[in-house]
Each structure stands twice: as structure tokens, then as C-alpha cells.
């Protein structure tokens, strides 16, 4: 004889196969308009799941069989909020120019001009602006000289630099990777306009006119891959042993992996073989900014840039160049 309450129980079990039997029993009592007690409803639901004892299971075939489990609330793992962090692959076979630490509007006209001329004359297939391309002095959290605090003027010079670079390299992919100085923009927005800080119109692509010049923004501290060579700005490693005597060795000590990075404003290299003779090589590139800024008149910085030639199999060769005070490009 058809039993409408069993039909209701079967339907509930099919719709909510993972819900606790007690929860569904309460729902069954409701849907049956109180025609059965809570204990009877629980028995019906347990019958549908086949968790009502071996003897009963023979009598009533479960519609949604499941293994017996602890009564009451069943906890599941909370969903993660962690976001995927993946490298940005240039996908280039050929030569990639790497310009780090330009710090516009505190760039060195001589060094930047020499680096761009050199890359233009040797011919490159892509260009990476490897972080601290802009200084964002006016929105830094450090104490600022009011004489230099002109964010509008700074922004105009950044846009001019971006337009000039696109003009000099009109038909190759250009990637703009954010360094610690570009991160000042997000930090400033979070402090001053948090409600609209994640609007696309508030992002660096729009504000620096990268989108207008078809320049790709790579943010979130993502490494860039030039073949098998990861390129970092350098601040991604965090603080600690990141300012050693030899920056490239510091990178090796931290990463134990071949890498090319900027951030330290110094040209250096470090090669270390493992026990089987497989070499790990780390490079740091010089900067292209003023070498005597107000906040660090005496330092150990030097001007430089790099060109990375990538083979079809991902193998690469790094040419880590220096630029002399009078604008001559020298190998390191």
C-alpha cells in the first residue's frame, strides 16, 4: 500500500543526502503536518539512509545508502580563502630586456637612456619593467619633504615615461611588474578610499595608462618566467637576509633556485653547484634611478639592466650589464 510519509522521507533523503537524519526528521514532521512524532520521523529517515541496524535494513531497502556516522551536527572543512599564486610566463623565445628600479621621476636620464638605446640597437622581442618603475614618493608612508610632495606632477611624469617606452618599443610585448614602490598605490588607496580601492578604474593599469599603451600589468608579487628563468623584483622574499654583501648570494641563500632580481640597485652574480654539479645561478641587476637620493646619499648602488635570451627549450642566457657614469654600457 502506498505510504505518502515514506514518499516524503524518500524525497527528503534524495534532496539532502548529506544532511543529518535528525534535521531531516524535523522537516518530515513539518511536511507531514504532524501526522508522525519526531522519533518516528527519525526512524523513517534512518531507514532511507540504511543506518537503522542490520535487522531493519533487511526489512526496508535504503533509497540513499550511506555509512553510519556520529549523531548530531556534522562539521565539514571550512572553504579556503587562499588565492592561487602562479608565475606569469612571458611565452617568448628570443631576447627579453629587463629594466629595474627606474623610480621615475627620480630616474637617471643618462642610465635609462643608455639602457634603452642598447636594447633598441641589439634588438629585443619583449621588455620587462621589473618593479620600482615608479617612485610614488608623494604617497609613501615615510616622512616627506613637502617641496617634493606633488603627486599630480609625479603621475604626469609616470604617464610620460610609459608613453615614451611604448614609442621606443612600438611592437613588442611590454610587461610592467609591480615592486614595493608600486605597492604604495594599493596601500594608499586602502587607507584613503577603501570602499572603491578594488574598482578596476582605481588600479595601476588605468591610472598609469598602461592599458592605453597595451602594457600588461603583473601584480600580486607574481614571478615572471623568461623560459625557465624566474624574474623577481626582489621584495617578494620579504625582509631578513635580503641585503647581504652580495645580493645574488642572498637570493641564493633564500631561494636555492636560479633567479634574476632587482630591488637592491646593485649588479651581482652568484653561482653554486649542487653535489652532482648542477649549477644554480642568481643575478641581481643594477638600477636606473638617481644614485644620490636625499634619503640615501651614500650607498653602494650602481646603474645597470639585463637582456635575457631564451631558447626554444626554455634554456636561457643572461647578459647582466652595467652603465657607467657617462652612459657607456659595460658587461659585468
Residues at the site binding Fe ion, with contacts judged by CB under 5 A: 101, 132, 179-180, 263
Compare residues 179 and 286 and give the one whose CB is closer to Fe ion. 179
CB of 91 to Fe ion, least distance (A): 26
Compare residues 44 and 266 and give the one whose CB is closer to Fe ion. 266
CB of 263 to Fe ion, least distance (A): 4
Distance of CA 88 to the CA centre of its chain: 9
CB of 181 to Fe ion, least distance (A): 6
3-state helix vs strand vs coil in the chain, percent to 5? 35, 20, 45
Four-point Cα dihedral 312, 316, 322, 327, nearest 10: -10
Compare residues 28 and 158 and give the one whose CB is closer to Fe ion. 158
314-320 long-range contacts (CB < 8 A, ≥24 apart) are: 314/227, 314/228, 315/227, 315/228, 316/226, 316/227, 316/228, 316/229, 318/229, 318/260, 318/281, 318/283, 320/260, 320/267, 320/269, 320/283, 320/285
Four-point Cα dihedral 81, 203, 223, 135, nearest 10: -130
Q: How far is 304 from 318, CA to CA, in rounded Å?
A: 13
Distance of CA 221 to the CA centre of its chain: 4
Compare residues 100 and 309 and give the one whose CB is closer to Fe ion. 100
Please give the DSSP secondary-structure letter assigned to residue 40.
Answer: H
Compare residues 44 and 263 and give the one whose CB is closer to Fe ion. 263
Compare residues 50 and 179 and give the one whose CB is closer to Fe ion. 179
Q: How far is 243 from 51, CA to CA, in rounded Å?
A: 63
Q: Which residue is nearest to Fe ion (CB)?
A: 132
CB of 195 to Fe ion, least distance (A): 29
Distance of CA 265 to the CA centre of its chain: 22
Compare residues 132 and 236 and give the one whose CB is closer to Fe ion. 132
CB of 143 to Fe ion, least distance (A): 19
Please give the DSSP secondary-structure letter assigned to residue 84.
Answer: P
CB of 325 to Fe ion, least distance (A): 19
**Cα dist from 211 to 38, 78, 197, whole Å:** 63, 38, 18
CB of 22 to Fe ion, least distance (A): 58
Amino acid at each position: 500500500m502506498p505510504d505518502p510519509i515514506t514518499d516524503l522521507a524518500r524525497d527528503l533523503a534524495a534532496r539532502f543526502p548529506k544532511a543529518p537524519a535528525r534535521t531531516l526528521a524535523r522537516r518530515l514532521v513539518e511536511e507531514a503536518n504532524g501526522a508522525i512524532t519526531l522519533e518516528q520521523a527519525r526512524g523513517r529517515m534512518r531507514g532511507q539512509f540504511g543506518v537503522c541496524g542490520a535487522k531493519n535494513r533487511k526489512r526496508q531497502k535504503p533509497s540513499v545508502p550511506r555509512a553510519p556516522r556520529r549523531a548530531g551536527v556534522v562539521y565539514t572543512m571550512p572553504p579556503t580563502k587562499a588565492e592561487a599564486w602562479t608565475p606569469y610566463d612571458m611565452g617568448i623565445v628570443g631576447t627579453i630586456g629587463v629594466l629595474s628600479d627606474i623610480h621615475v621621476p627620480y630616474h637617471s636620464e643618462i642610465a635609462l637612456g643608455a639602457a634603452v638605446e642598447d636594447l633598441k640597437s641589439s634588438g629585443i622581442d619583449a621588455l620587462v619593467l621589473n618593479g620600482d618603475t615608479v617612485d610614488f614618493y608623494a604617497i609613501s608612508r615615510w616622512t616627506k619633504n613637502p617641496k617634493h610632495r606633488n603627486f599630480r606632477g609625479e603621475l604626469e611624469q609616470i604617464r610620460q615615461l610609459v608613453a615614451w617606452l611604448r614609442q621606443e618599443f612600438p611592437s613588442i610585448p611590454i610587461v610592467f611588474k609591480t615592486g614595493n614602490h608600486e605597492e604604495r598605490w594599493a596601500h594608499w588607496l586602502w587607507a584613503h578610499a577603501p570602499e572603491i580601492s578594488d574598482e578596476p578604474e582605481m588600479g595601476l593599469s588605468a591610472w598609469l595608462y598602461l592599458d592605453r599603451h597595451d602594457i600588461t600589468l603583473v601584480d600580486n608579487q607574481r614571478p615572471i618566467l623568461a623560459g625557465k628563468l624566474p624574474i623577481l623584483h626582489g621584495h617578494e622574499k620579504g625582509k631578513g637576509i635580503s641585503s647581504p654583501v652580495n645580493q645574488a648570494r642572498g637570493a641564493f641563500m633564500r631561494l636555492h633556485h636560479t633567479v634574476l632580481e632587482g630591488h637592491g640597485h646593485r649588479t651581482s652574480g652568484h653561482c653554486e653547484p649542487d653535489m652532482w654539479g648542477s649549477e644554480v645561478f642568481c643575478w641581481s641587476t643594477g638600477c636606473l634611478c638617481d644614485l644620490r637620493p636625499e634619503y640615501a646619499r651614500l650607498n653602494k648602488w650602481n646603474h645597470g639592466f639585463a637582456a635575457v635570451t631564451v631558447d626554444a627549450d626554455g634554456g636561457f642566457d643572461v647578459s647582466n650589464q652595467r652603465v657607467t657614469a657617462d652612459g657607456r654600457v659595460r658587461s659585468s
